[in-house]
Chain A
C-alpha cells in the first residue's frame, strides 16, 4: 500500500514539479527561493496526500479531508506559501533578468538577444502584476489550463475567470508599455 502511494505521488510530482516551480519563480524571481518553496509545496502535498489515503481506508471518517483535485490543491499550497514568504520576510520583490534557460538553438544570436530582452521585460512585468492577474496569465497562456480548470483552482465561475483573463492581459500590456 505504501509503495503504491509513493509511486502515485512520485508520478504527481513528475507531472507538476516544472509547473509549480515556474509558477513560483515568476513571482519570486529567484531560483533558490523558487526551489525552496517548490520543495515545501510537494512536502506539504505529500503529507496531506498520505493522510487522506489513510482516512479513506477507515470507515466513518471525516470525508472533507479528501483531496478532490490534486492540481488545484498543489497550486493552493504554492499560493499560500508565496503569501507567507512575502508576509514573513517582508521581502521587496526583486526583479532579476537571469536564470531562464531559454533554448532555441536554431535562432541566431541577434534574434535570441531580442527575444531574451522581451522575455525579461515580460518576466519583470509579470512579477509586478496584481497577484490574481499574474496567476491566471500563467495558468491560461503558459500552462494552457482550460477555463474550467482555472475556475476550480480559484473557486470562481467560468465567466468570472474569462473576464479576469481578459483584464489580466490588458493589465500586462499596459505594464509593458509603461516599462518602455
Chain B
C-alpha cells in the first residue's frame, strides 16, 4: 500500500460515528439533569420567595407527569409517527441497561415488535409509515446479529438457556416475518447475517458441550442421546444438537 493509498484509507475511517439515538440521549442526559439542579438552586438563592416554593415545585411535578403521560402514549405509536422517538428512547435505554448476554435477545424482541407494528400499519393503511418501520426492523435484526457475533462462548456453553431463548425468539421472528411479507406482498428485510451469526454461535456451543459431555460419566440412555447429537453435529444440524444436549442436561 502506498502512502497516498494509506492516507486515503485513513480518511475512510471518518465514517465511524456514534449511534444517533445515543448522541441525542447523552446530550439530554448531560445538559438536562443540570437544568433541574439549577432550578432548585435558584430556590435557595431567593428565600424571600418561599411562598412561591410550593407553587414552583408543582411545575416540575406537572412536567414529570406530562412526560410520563407522553411516554405512556408513545408506547402505542408505530415508526414514522410523531411520538415514536419517545418510545425508541425507552427501548434504547432498556437495551443500554441490559447485560451483554441479554442484548441480542432484546434486539430480536424489538424486531418482532416492529413486525407487529408493520401489521398495524398495513391494517390502518398508513403507507407513509411502512419505510420507517421496515428500517427499524432491519436495524434491530442487524444489531442482534452484531451482538450475537460478539457473544462469549463461555457464557453460552455454561448457560445454554441463554442461547435457547435466542433461538426461540429468532424462530418467532422468522415466522412473523413470513406472515408479514405474505400480507404486505413485500420483502421487509434480509435475515441472512442474523442466521449466520446464530448458526456460528450454535456450532461453537454445540462443539464445546459435546466435548464436555464426552469427558463425563453418562447413563446408557444419555450416551445414546449424545451419540445422536454427534451425528446431528456431523450433519451440521446444530439446533437439533443443542436440543438433544438440553434434554440431556435436563434443561427442558
Contact = CB atoms under 8 A, between A and B. Distances in A.
B26 A6 contact: no
Interface in B17-31: 17-19, 22-23, 26-27, 29-31
Given A118-B1, A169-B6, A176-B6, A38 B18 contact: yes
Nearest to A32: B100
Contact of A98 (B10, B14, B22, B146): B146
A159 interface: no
B7 A141 contact: yes
Interface stretch (A18-26, A68-76, A145-153): A18-26
Contacts of B17: 18, 21-22, 101
A82 to B, nearest CB: 16
Nearest to A20: B18
B233 to A, nearest CB: 27
B30 A115 contact: no
B29 A176 contact: no
A42 interface: yes
A176 B26 CA distance: 35
A13 B12 CA distance: 23
Interface residues of B, number: 29
A115 to B, nearest CB: 7
B23 A103 contact: no
Contact of B9 (A38, A103, A122): A122
Contact of A13 (B3, B13, B30): B30
A169 B5 CA distance: 12
Interface of B is mostly: helix
Contact of A119 (B3, B9, B100): B9
B149 interface: yes
B38 A2 contact: yes
A123 B13 contact: yes
Nearest to A96: B150
A38 B29 CA distance: 13
A116 B14 CA distance: 13
B40 to A, nearest CB: 12
Contact of A102 (B3, B12, B18, B29): B12
B33 to A, nearest CB: 9
B34 A17 contact: no
Interface in A110-145: 115, 118-119, 122-123, 126, 137, 141-143
Contacts of B27: 10, 13-14, 17
Interface in B132-158: 146, 149-150
A34 B27 CA distance: 15
B107 to A, nearest CB: 14
A100 interface: yes
B61 interface: no
B14 A142 contact: yes
B152 to A, nearest CB: 12
Contacts of B10: 122, 137, 141-142
Nearest to B17: A18
A35 B160 CA distance: 30
A141 B3 CA distance: 12
Nearest to B28: A10
A26 B14 CA distance: 11
B11 A39 contact: no
Given A13-B30, A115-B12, A141-B7, 10 more contacts: A2-B38, A17-B27, A21-B16, A22-B16, A39-B29, A46-B31, A100-B13, A118-B1, A119-B13, A176-B1
Give the top 4 A-B pairs by smallest Cβ distance, nearest first: A21-B18, A141-B10, A100-B16, A39-B26
